[in-house]
Copies of this chain bind each other. A is one copy, B any other.
Amino acid sequence: MPKAIKKIGVLTSGGDSPGMNAAIRSVVRTCAYHNIECTGIYRGYQGMIEGDFKEMGARSVNNIVNKGGTILKSARSKEFMTVEGRKKAHQNLVNANIDALVVIGGDGSFTGAEVFNNEFGYPVMGIPGTIDNDIFGTSHTLGFDTALNTVVECIDKIRDTASSHNRLFLVEVMGRDAGHIALNAGIGAGAEEILIPEQDLGLERLLESLRKSKASGKSSSIVVIAEGDKIGKSVFELKDYIEENMPEYDIRVSVLGHMQRGGAPSCFDRVLASRLGVKAVESLLEGKSNFMVGILNDKVALTPLENAIKGHSEIDRELLRVSDIMST
Contacts and interface: CB of A to CB of B under 8 A. Distances in A.
Interface of A: 12, 15-16, 18, 20, 25-26, 29-30, 32-33, 58-59, 62-63, 65-70, 73-75, 139, 145, 148-166, 169, 184-185, 187-190, 216-218, 252-255, 257-264, 266-268, 270-271, 274-275, 278, 297-298, 300, 316, 318-319, 321-322, 324-328
A262 B159 contact: yes
Nearest to A261: B161
How many copies of this chain does the complex contain? Answer: 4
A257 B255 contact: yes
A104 to B, nearest CB: 12
Contacts of A188: 65, 267-268, 270-271, 274
Contacts of A145: 266-268
A190 B65 contact: yes
Given A145-B268, A267-B152, A161 B69 contact: yes
B165 A275 contact: no
Nearest to A255: B255
B32 A328 contact: yes
Contact of A164 (B16, B156, B187): B16
A270 B324 CA distance: 15
Given A33-B325, A160-B69, A326-B26, A59 B218 contact: yes
